[in-house]
Each structure stands twice: as structure tokens, then as C-alpha cells.
């Protein structure tokens, strides 16, 4: 599989660009063993580009490169020594070297699905390099090319240059794999946050299902009462129609809820997460949110116990809502959020019960005393956009309370004053485990 790093605008521009790169690389050369036989790193670019770029025009680039190398080689001699016909003849064979190598690697690319898929493929690169050198030397020295010394020289060059190609492509493969792992991890985090948000919405949808049922029953009861009391038939039928419509809405609502739940179940099947990993994952999201609002958030985490849970998405919903509230409520540009987990005990009648206490504290402006009594009620919100008139749904903290009580059999409390707002979540020890 080739790693795309370049978007080709058109065939002509691609040929010129990579041809020039190859010509530039060819300027790093040396005379080795034989006069006028220059060993350069120019052709190393061919397999590297072929690995990096899909549909790389190797033939056109090799032809352009051969012309470019000839012009630069002969041009340099002309500027230094003036025009010399023999110099042109000496520079010409190297051009055929690039054409030959380009043609051979083109054939290789047609036979193979990728460049150096196996380490043993380096043999093919040694052979291609050797044959391209052989073409150049035949043009230079005719039959002298097949002397043992000359043959050993070009074999050594082919092995050395092919090894450099192998090293470069191996490095790029490892870099590519590392990049893909990082990209996969980022996508996985985003997926988990998305599922967490959906999980919170599903909880509300399930609660609303019972509300829809009650509303439908109330409408039908109203119809019966109106009918018994002799209310106009058209008016009583209107109440019946409302009940019917609500029933249809309920059926569609349940189908939507089932579809979302089934889709989530495909992603919720895992072995769980540590609380510390959940918090670390949400820190990135919270930091991005703070940055968008022109703020900076600092987390101070303390984990007395490394807790583990298979209900990680519920914890994500809890912590995400509390972190978001801290960021949105902050008046200062710097927000400090303290997160702490402790194991505690409390006396309950005749027994002593252990529980985990999770503290989430921020340095925000605080919550008014009269609001503290209502913040966990559905629909309560102090967040309003005075430009648009849009009011927050006010469901976040009610959702948090619902999850804490119904999913973890715990409780949540809040204390607040300017510079110190603390939410404390107490969860029975048997609801979580330490690993």
C-alpha cells in the first residue's frame, strides 16, 4: 500500500518537479574506480518517490532526469573549460543510465503491488542498479566493461546504493505505521467522546419514553371523561386524535431509540477503562473547548486508587458535563480544575460502608446560593446567549445526577463560593474495582 504525500496537479508539473529533485540529488557524486564514471545518489529518488506517491510517472521523470543530468554535467564543463565535443560524449552515457534504471524500475512496479514489500526484494534493486550501470559502461568502454575489476566495482555500487534505498524505505514504512497508530488513537478518542455524548442523549430519550406514555394515557383519559360528561363529540374526538397521534409518535420514537442503541452496542462492547484514562482522554477535549473560548485549562489530578469500570461511557458523560460547566462558567482566562479520587468509609446504622469519593473542583466565580437548590432540576439553566436569546437546555447536571444515582447507586452534592465550586460524587465500593 502506497503512502500518499503528494497530490498531483497534472502530469507535466509532476514530471518537472520530481525530475528537478532527481537532477539536484545527482549533483552529489564522486568518481569511483573508473574515470568519468560518476556515482551519485540521484536514482535513489526513483524508488522512494514510487513508494510515497501513487501513480508516480516514473518513465517521464527518468527521461526528464536524464536530460537534466546531461545538461548540468556538460554545462558545468562548458562554463569551466569552454565547449568540448569529447566532454559531451563523456556525459551522454550517464543519461542512458537514468533512462535504463527508470525503465527497469517501471517494469518492477508493474509486477509488484508495492515497493520493497519484502526485504528479499532488495535483490531486484541490486540487479536493476547493476544492469543500468552495465548499460552506461558499455557505452563508455565497450568490451572493457566485462573485466573482473569493472564488474566487481559496479556490483559493489549496486549493493551499496540498493542498501541505502532499503534503509530509506524501511524508515518511511515505520514512520507511516507510527503515524497511522497515532491517527487511529485520535480517531478512537473522538469516537469514544461521540459515543459518550450519544449515551447521555439515549438516557434522556429513555426517560422521555415514559413521559410520552403518560401523555398518551392522559389524552385518552381526557377523551373518556369528556365523553361521559356529554361534551361535544367533535371536541372529545379531538382529544382522542391527540392520543392516537402521540401513540404513533411513541412508536417512531422507540424505533429511533432502538436503532441508536443497537448502533452504540457495536462500539460499547469492550473490557472497560481506568478512571485515570477516562480523565486523561477528556482533558484533551476540555483543553480544546477552552482554547476555542480564548481560555486555558489546567488539570490537577490525584488518584488515591486506580479505579476500573466497565461503564466508562457513563463516567465520560458525568465528567464531560462537569468539565464543560467549569469552562463555560469561568470568568478568568485560566481555569484550574482539581480532580481527586479517594477511598472513604462512613458509619451507616450498625455497619461501616466503604465508598469512593470523586471530587471535581474549579476556581470559577461560584454558584449563587438560591441556584444550588435547583441546579440538578431538569430545564434549569443560567446560560443564555443575550445576542440570540438562545437558552441552554439545562439537562447536563440533571443527567449527571441521574447517572450517578441510577447507574452507580451513588449520590452527588455541591458546595460553592467564589473561587471554589466543588462537586463530590460518592459511589459504593462494590460498584467499582481496583486493578
* Mean pLDDT, residues 99-111 taken together: 88
- pLDDT recorded at residue 330: 86
Has residue 73 got a pLDDT over 60?
Answer: yes
Dihedrals phi, psi of 83, to nearest 5 degrees: -70, 130
- pLDDT recorded at residue 361: 94
Do residues 318 and 405 make contact, with C-beta atoms less than 8 angstroms apart?
A: no
**Per-residue pLDDT tens for 83-100?**
777 777 777 888 888 899
- State in words which class domain 273-434 has: alpha beta
As its CATH architecture, domain 11-184 has Orthogonal Bundle (1.10)
- pLDDT recorded at residue 263: 57
- pLDDT recorded at residue 426: 93
Cα(124)–Cα(109) distance, rounded to whole angstroms? 11
- pLDDT recorded at residue 139: 83
Has residue 380 got a pLDDT over 60?
Answer: no
Strand partners, 353: 346
Do residues 77 and 91 make contact, with C-beta atoms less than 8 angstroms apart?
A: yes
Q: Which residue has the cell 497508530?
A: 181
**Per-residue pLDDT tens for 299-336?**
999 887 778 888 887 888 889 889 988 888 888 889 99
Q: Which residue has the cell 422521555?
A: 208
Cα(364)–Cα(336) distance, rounded to whole angstroms? 8
Average pLDDT of the chain, as a whole number: 78
Of 41-55, 258-272, 285-299, minimum mean pLDDT range: 258-272
331 vs 289, 293, 336, 414, 432, CA distance in Å? 15, 11, 12, 19, 35
User: Which residues are within 8 A (CB) of 361 and not within 5 positions of it... i.e. 6 or more apart?
Assistant: 337, 338, 340, 420, 421, 422, 423
Angle between helices 396-407 and 148-228 (to 10 degrees): 90
Q: Judge if pTM exceeds 0.75.
A: no
- pLDDT recorded at residue 258: 67
**Per-residue pLDDT tens for 271-306?**
677 888 888 888 888 888 888 888 899 999 988 777
Query: Would you list the domain boundaries of the chain?
Result: 11-184, 195-268, 273-434
Amino acid at each position: 500500500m502506497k503512502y500518499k504525500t503528494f497530490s498531483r496537479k497534472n502530469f507535466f508539473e509532476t514530471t518537472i518537479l520530481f525530475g528537478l529533485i532527481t537532477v539536484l540529488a545527482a549533483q552529489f557524486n564522486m568518481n569511483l574506480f573508473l574515470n568519468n564514471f560518476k556515482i551519485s545518489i540521484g536514482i535513489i529518488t526513483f524508488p522512494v518517490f514510487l513508494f510515497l506517491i501513487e501513480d508516480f510517472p516514473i518513465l517521464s521523470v527518468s527521461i526528464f532526469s536524464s536530460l537534466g543530468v546531461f545538461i548540468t554535467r556538460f554545462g558545468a564543463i562548458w562554463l569551466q573549460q569552454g565547449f568540448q565535443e569529447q566532454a559531451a560524449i563523456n556525459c551522454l552515457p550517464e543519461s542512458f543510465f537514468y533512462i535504463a534504471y527508470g525503465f527497469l524500475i517501471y517494469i518492477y512496479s508493474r509486477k509488484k503491488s508495492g515497493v520493497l514489500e519484502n526485504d528479499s526484494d532488495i535483490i531486484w534493486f541490486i540487479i536493476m542498479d547493476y544492469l543500468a550501470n552495465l548499460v552506461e559502461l558499455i557505452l563508455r568502454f565497450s568490451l572493457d566493461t566485462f573485466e573482473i575489476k569493472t564488474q566487481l566495482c559496479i556490483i559493489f555500487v549496486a549493493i551499496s546504493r540498493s542498501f541505502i534505498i532499503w534503509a530509506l524505505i524501511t524508515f518511511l514504512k515505520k514512520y507511516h505505521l507510527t503515524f497511522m497508530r497515532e491517527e487511529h488513537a485520535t480517531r478512537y478518542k473522538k469516537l469514544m467522546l461521540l459515543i459518550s455524548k450519544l449515551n447521555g442523549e439515549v438516557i434522556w430519550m429513555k426517560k422521555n419514553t415514559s413521559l410520552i406514555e403518560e401523555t398518551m394515557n392522559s389524552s385518552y383519559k381526557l377523551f373518556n371523561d369528556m365523553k361521559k360528561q356529554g361534551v361535544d363529540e367533535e371536541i372529545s374526538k379531538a382529544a382522542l386524535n391527540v392520543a392516537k397521534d402521540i401513540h404513533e409518535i411513541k412508536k417512531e420514537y422507540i424505533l429511533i431509540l432502538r436503532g441508536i442503541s443497537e448502533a452504540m452496542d457495536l462500539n460499547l462492547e469492550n473490557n472497560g477503562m481506568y478512571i485515570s484514562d477516562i480523565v486523561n482522554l477528556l482533558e484533551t477535549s476540555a483543553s480544546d473547548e477552552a482554547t476555542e473560548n480564548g481560555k486555558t485549562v489546567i488539570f490537577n489530578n490525584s488518584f488515591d486508587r486506580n479505579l476500573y469500570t466497565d461503564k466508562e461511557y457513563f463516567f465520560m458523560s458525568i465528567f464531560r458535563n462537569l468539565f464543560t460547566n467549569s469552562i463555560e462558567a469561568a470568568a478568568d482566562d485560566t481555569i484550574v480544575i482539581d480532580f481527586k479520587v479517594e477511598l472513604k468509609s462512613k458509619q451507616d446504622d450498625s455497619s461501616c460502608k466503604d465508598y469512593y469519593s470523586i471530587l471535581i473542583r474549579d476556581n470559577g466565580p461560584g454558584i449563587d446560593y438560591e441556584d444550588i437548590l435547583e441546579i440538578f432540576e431538569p430545564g434549569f439553566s443560567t446560560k443564555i446567549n443575550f445576542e440570540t436569546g438562545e437558552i441552554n437546555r439545562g439537562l447536563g447536571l440533571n443527567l449527571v445526577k441521574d447517572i450517578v444515582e441510577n447507574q452507580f447507586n451513588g449520590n452527588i452534592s455541591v458546595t460553592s463560593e467564589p473561587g471554589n465550586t466543588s462537586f463530590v460524587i460518592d459511589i459504593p465500593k462494590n460498584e467499582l474495582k481496583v486493578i
